[in-house]
């Protein structure tokens, strides 16, 4: 720890620190998973936590969340949405921190998580096996999954969990993984195909079964 005199920022009244914390979801082996990091400093040193960081002077909160996500995962988020604030005075034992919580969805094959400045390890956890988390991040994750389920009726949200080109079965698997329960195949397909959000491609996905039509998002 440095003992040099360092620049400080002074205010007439106490100011909280403001951070963006990001719940990043992706599908891993067919299950919904969340990206966590281990803290390498006190408090909660060594515990798992959501990635996130403090807002800078010259950026708004959306930019902060996007930057932190990029720093942690190397991926520019296709879908990043604010869903709640967490502001209990004692939620951080060191100083007061107000967290703006964001929800992000990624295609897991596009991510190579790398340990960054604030994290000594990065890992994916299935929703059924989330470890104890630092701060109130457990509460934030619960709120995030609830928000995600609410948003999922919008196909534009769902598309962010699958590759650019996908089969309807892949899309349905993603839907079911988030909701945590199976859904009817015919209803799902009828609903999606009755929108104008899908475009057939000329390609088929082959396997030890009947080939599946590959779709992509319609350009509007």
Partner DNA sequence: CCAAAAGTGTTACTCGTACACCCATGT
Partner DNA sequence: ACATGGGTGTACGAGTAACACTTTTGG
What is the contact surface with its own copies in residues (CB under 8 A)? 6-18, 54-62, 82, 85, 87-89, 95-96, 98, 100
The C-alpha atoms of residue 35 and residue 43 are separated, in whole angstroms, by 20
Residue with Cβ nearer DNA (87 or 201): 201
The C-alpha atoms of residue 72 and residue 80 are separated, in whole angstroms, by 14
- Nearest distance in Å: CB 80, its own copies: 14
- Residue 212 touches which member of DNA, its own copies, none, C-beta under 5-8 Å by kind: DNA
- Residue 117 touches which member of its own copies, DNA, none, C-beta under 5-8 Å by kind: none
- Cβ atoms 69, 158 nearer than 8 A: no
Residue 19: enclosing H or E segment and its boundaries?
strand 17-28
- Residue 17 touches which member of DNA, its own copies, none, C-beta under 5-8 Å by kind: its own copies
**3-state class (DSSP) for residue 5:** coil
Residue with Cβ nearer its own copies (11 or 181): 11
Structure tokens at 96: 């007061």
- Nearest distance in Å: CB 70, its own copies: 18
User: What is the contact surface with DNA in residues (CB under 7 A)?
Assistant: 167-169, 184-187, 189-191, 206-213
Residue with Cβ nearer DNA (152 or 168): 168
Residue 145: enclosing H or E segment and its boundaries?
helix 137-151
The C-alpha atoms of residue 10 and residue 171 are separated, in whole angstroms, by 51
- Residue 209 touches which member of its own copies, DNA, none, C-beta under 5-8 Å by kind: DNA
- Residue 87 touches which member of DNA, its own copies, none, C-beta under 5-8 Å by kind: its own copies
**Other C-beta atoms lying within 10 Å of the C-beta of residue 216:** 15
**Other C-beta atoms lying within 10 Å of the C-beta of residue 166:** 22
- Nearest distance in Å: CB 103, its own copies: 14
- Nearest distance in Å: CB 215, DNA: 9
Please state the separation of Cα 76 from the chain's center in Å: 11
- Nearest distance in Å: CB 118, DNA: 40
Nearest Cα residue to 184 out of 198, 167, 172, 196: 172
Residue with Cβ nearer its own copies (11 or 210): 11
- Residue 210 touches which member of DNA, its own copies, none, C-beta under 5-8 Å by kind: DNA
- Nearest distance in Å: CB 101, its own copies: 11
- Cβ atoms 33, 24 nearer than 8 A: no
């Amino acid at each position: 720890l440095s003992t040099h005199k360092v620049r400080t920022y002074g205010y007439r009244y106490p100011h909280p620190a403001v951070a963006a914390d990001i719940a990043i979801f992706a599908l891993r082996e067919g299950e919904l998973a969340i990206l966590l990091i281990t803290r390498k400093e006190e408090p909660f040193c060594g515990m798992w936590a959501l990635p996130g960081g403090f807002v800078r002077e010259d950026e708004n909160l959306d930019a902060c969340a996007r930057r932190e996500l990029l720093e942690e995962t190397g991926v520019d988020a296709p879908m990043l949405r604010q869903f709640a604030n967490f502001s209990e005075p004692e939620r951080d034992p060191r100083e007061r921190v107000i967290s703006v919580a964001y929800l992000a969805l990624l295609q897991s094959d596009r991510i190579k998580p790398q340990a960054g400045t604030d994290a000594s390890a990065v890992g994916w956890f299935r929703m059924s096996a989330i470890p104890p988390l630092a701060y109130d991040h457990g509460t934030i994750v619960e709120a995030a999954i609830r928000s995600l389920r609410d948003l999922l009726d919008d196909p534009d949200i769902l598309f962010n969990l699958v590759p650019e080109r996908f089969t309807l079965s892949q899309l349905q698997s993603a839907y079911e993984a988030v909701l945590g329960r199976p859904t009817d195949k015919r209803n799902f397909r009828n609903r999606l195909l009755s929108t104008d959000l899908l475009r057939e491609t000329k390609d088929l996905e082959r396997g030890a079964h009947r080939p599946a039509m590959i779709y992509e998002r319609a350009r509007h």
